[in-house]
Amino acid sequence: MSSSLPVIAAVDGSDDSLHALDLAVDAARGRGAPLRVVHVRQYAPWAQPEVLTTGPPDPEDDPVLDQVRARFEGRTDLPAVEYRPLEGAPAAVLPELGSGAQLLVLGSRGRGGFASLLLGSTGMAAARDAECPVIVVPRQGRGGGASHDAGAQGEHGVLTVESGPRVVVGVDVDHPDQATLAFACGEAGLRGARLQVIAAYSWPPQFWASPGELVPPTIDQSAVENETWALAEGLLAPHRERHPDVRSDAYALPGDAAGLLVAASKDAELVVVGRHRRRLMSPARMVGSVTQAVLLHAMAPVAVVPPTASEQAA
């Protein structure tokens, strides 16, 4: 797998961004792609009185990129590396780079983020607006928030966690997203990882006969589970044909999709989610509530995949 488009790593000198840089190196090498390391400096003369006498900094004089050069010094396993200093607001500049990249990688919270935030505004903006897939790398050792039980009883409803690398992807069987599945299968192939496809369904369902009166469900859970699993298997089938070397398993699990994906993210190589398609009544880009929750709480790097032009049109 190769492309002339680069893998872009956004750095700012923080530990988060340097951890993301290591992942970007592996991604570029696996794809046979060049690596572009970018640092976006926010130039605000009104906040920097010394600029009035010294003038703006030299665009080529960038200590953050010098730090990366020193980190790479002596390594012979690197792809072709380009360094590019940029100026502006990172939350605006980085998403624009997605049109000229096959992948954008950044840390979950940069040097300028508030300590109380699990995901900075730059990471959220990139995940929401970039035209290429975006991988957001969480802080090492981050917990997953509330515990969620991913082990449901049923033939297709027990998520097995085996040793070895895993890529986890969430699918909505009612609104299929082939771009997200394709990306997840490709990543599993590049990493030599097992692919786990998680399709969530609500249980127990609630039926209201009249205000305040709850009617017990008459639907058999195993039937709902089997139908959900069959739909997920059908969505996965063409990707299995294109990636015969990737072991892939579909699971139909009851509960909240975000919680199930966060639980499955523990010890995973990557969690893959789709970005919301634009709706007629909501034309602005959104990441969606499930994707946002996974970005905030997952313990593994999270890849957010934009819809293809044909999926968006549909």
For the chain, give every domain's residue range: 7-137, 166-313
pLDDT digits (tens, 9 = 90+) for 32-71: 999 999 999 876 544 455 555 555 555 567 999 999 999 9
- Fold match between 7-137 and 166-313? yes
Return the DSSP state at 46.
G
Report d(CA 232, CA 249) in Å as an integer. 10
| Single pTM value for the model | 0.84
pLDDT at 83: 96
Q: Which residues pair with 201 in a beta bridge?
A: 254
Q: Which amino acid is at 87?
A: E
| H-helix segments, the chain | 15-31, 51-54, 63-72, 90-97, 121-129, 178-191, 221-242, 257-264, 289-297, 309-313
pLDDT at 239: 96
Backbone φ and ψ for 271, nearest 5 degrees, come out as: -115, 130
| H-helix segments, 156-217 | 178-191
Which parts of the chain sit beneath pLDDT 70? 1-3, 43-60, 109-120, 141-158, 160-161, 206-218, 277-287, 309-314
| H-helix segments, 163-256 | 178-191, 221-242
Which residue has 């988060």 as its token pair?
16
pLDDT at 53: 54
Burial of 45 from C-beta contacts in 10 A (0-12 / 13-18 / 19+): exposed
Query: For the structural domain made of 166-313, what CATH number should be given?
Result: 3.40.50.12370
- CA 185, 187, 193, 197 dihedral sign is negative
Domain with residues 7-137, CATH architecture? 3-Layer(aba) Sandwich (3.40)
- β-pairing, 207-210 with 213-215? antiparallel
Which residue has 């929401």 as its token pair?
128
